[in-house]
Amino acid sequence: MSDKEFLYHLHESSRCKMAGGYNEAILHLSRALEINPKSAAANYELAGLYLQLEDVDKAMSLSKKACKLNPLEPWYKILLGEIYKADGRLQNAADVYGELSRLAPENPEYNLERASLFVHMNKYDAALKEYEVIEKKFGFSENISLSKEDIYLALGENEKAMLEIKKLVDYFPNEPRYLGLLAETYMNQRNYKDAWKYYSKMLEVDSTNGYLHLSLSEYYRQLKDYDKSFSEMKLAFASAEIPVDTKVRMLVAMLTYINASGDVKEQIYSLIQILLETHPDDPQSHAFYADFLINDRQYEQARNELRIVLQSEKKQYLIWEQLLILNSQLNDNNSLLEESKQAMEFFPNQPLIYYFEGLALFSLKREEEALQVLNTGIELVFNNAPLKVQFYSLMAEAYQRQKNNQLSDESMDKALELDPQNLLILNNYSYYLSVRKENLIKAEKMSKITIEADPKNATYLDTYAWVLFQMGKYDKALEYIEQALKSGGLSNAVIVEHYGDILFKTGAEEKALATWEKAINLGKGSDLLERKIAEKKWIE
């Protein structure tokens, strides 16, 4: 009866294990071992389950017992070896595989595993001895020769490493990989003559090999034959077998030298064209080209490349962000609006997209819609004060256009709470207050910060002069408007008009009239400029 019950639990444990019910399988195996504690198979199966559940101690105890009960079963020893490895006891695992190789000397896998364990323990001499045993038993093996080469290189025994590569070349004289290994070894030794010997053999075997042309490019570079080096690089880029990401990494490396020589820029451009011809449908090619064009300030063409990328990579947020930035830089507000909406379909929680849509609407003089978008987007900004400042600044401009002075000022104040030294906002805020003749003391304080921070900025000097003008401080206003003119303001119609206004208030009426006439020739000043000239007086 007990034998039947034992077999029942053994069978049920297998069924539970196959169904993924490991805990239930353990219960059945534990019951089976209560009936027959000397069952090597039950101990082995239970050890395997505990190993899967990462209970190494129980797994090891049961596995050792299984091996003791049946020392000739290789699977029991293999499991014990795996448990030792899981416990980090690599020497014990190596000893187990030593026992296995003695039990089955015709099986090289045990020797290979033992050698691998020795390598992991940095016991290179022991690993080499194990590989020699395998070679004596089973003859030459390219995998073993490569493994030995790695060990010799780790030990710094370069000559022995080279002998292994030569052995590979002797056995496989037409295998480009081994010819290339030998050539690169000679290259590392700066033995260019022997390196060329094997590179030339590779050319005979496979002249279209892209990796060979990469190696030859480096070969000629070290010989300082840069024209040939670049020719080989072009052949490598024309090879479809070299992945796009490898080529892009090489181009990125070349970018570091782009300022050293104009030739490098031309070479990168040529290689990009080859890259696009070889991999026309790979978005990575077009993405890199777009980055290159952006760095070269070719924004229109860069934008076209990003649009190609987005045909297949619509869920790449950074590509959308780059595209929107370019639309903004190109002042293409219609595209900025359209593509912001497209981007928002994929990234409805990215606040920067709302900012760009709001900017596009504002630029298209659709202030009400802009404010709706901006008020929604700003709620999505977290832990990003600079972006919040941009939102508040743009909202202030939109409210200003709507003549909603209260909300405009509130938005400006919120922006300055986050960035009190933001010169652009300080300048705009003080100018709006001066135009409205409101809170001029606050306007003067804010404007003064800007000219102290940037004393040669014509726009900031003009604003400060205009605030002083509105405060009735005409002589002081004249001093600063003249500084604005010296700092580049002579070409700005608004600044020149302001100069005329201040001159008029300081009593220089004829000079004021001549200055207004200069302003109107420069472009658009205020709506009252023509009246000032016609009536020959300042008009508020």
Q: Which two tokens stand for residue 317?
A: 């947020």
- Residue 274, pLDDT above cutoff 70: yes
- Show Cβ contacts of residue 44 under 8 Å, excluding neighbours closer than 6 positions: 62, 63, 66, 73, 75, 76, 79
Q: Do residues 440 and 470 touch, judged by C-beta distance below 8 A?
A: yes
Between residues 257 and 318, which one has the greater pLDDT?
A: 318
Look at residue 327 and tell me whether its pLDDT is greater than 50.
yes
**Segment 482-526, tens digit of pLDDT:** 999 999 999 999 999 999 999 999 999 999 999 999 999 988 778
Enter the tokens of residue 178.
């081994």
In this model, does residue 335 exceed pLDDT 90?
yes
Please check the confidence at residue 213 and state whether its pLDDT lies above 70. yes
pLDDT score at 107: 87
Locate the domains of the chain by residue range: 450-540
Residue 176 has a pLDDT of 85
Whether residue 1 is predicted with pLDDT greater than 50 in this model: the reply is no
User: What integer pLDDT is reported at residue 507 of this predicted model?
Assistant: 94
Torsion over CA: 413, 414, 417, 419 (sign): negative
pLDDT band at 263 (very low <50, low <70, confident <90, very high): confident
The pLDDT value recorded for residue 170 is 84
What was the pLDDT predicted at 29? 84
Q: Does position 34 have pLDDT exceeding 90, yes or no?
A: no
The pLDDT score that the predictor gives to residue 260 is 62
Mean pLDDT over residues 240-247, rounded?
94
Residue 145 confidence (pLDDT):
86
Tens of pLDDT, residues 87-137: 999 999 999 999 999 988 888 899 999 999 999 999 999 999 989 888 888
Map residue 141 onto helix, strand or coil: coil
If DSSP codes are grouped into helix, strand and coil, which group holds residue 156? coil
Measured at the alpha carbon of residue 386, what is the angle toward residues 381 and 388, in degrees to the nearest 5? 40
Instruction: Tally DSSP H helices, then E strands, for the chain.
Output: 31, 0
CA-based nearest residue to 413, from 392, 428, 431, 383: 392
Residues 518, 500: Cα–Cα separation, whole Å: 9
Which H helix or E strand runs over 457?
Answer: none
pLDDT at 259: 66
SS3 298: coil
Q: What was the pLDDT predicted at 162?
A: 84
Which range has the worst mean pLDDT, 57-66, 331-340, 391-400?
Answer: 57-66
- Using a cut of 0.75, tell me whether the model's pTM lies above it: no
Neighbours of 207 (CB within 10 A): 10
Residue 163 pLDDT class (50, 70, 90 cuts): confident
Name which CATH class applies to 450-540: mainly alpha
Structure tokens at 220: 């000629």
Mean pLDDT of 422-449: 96
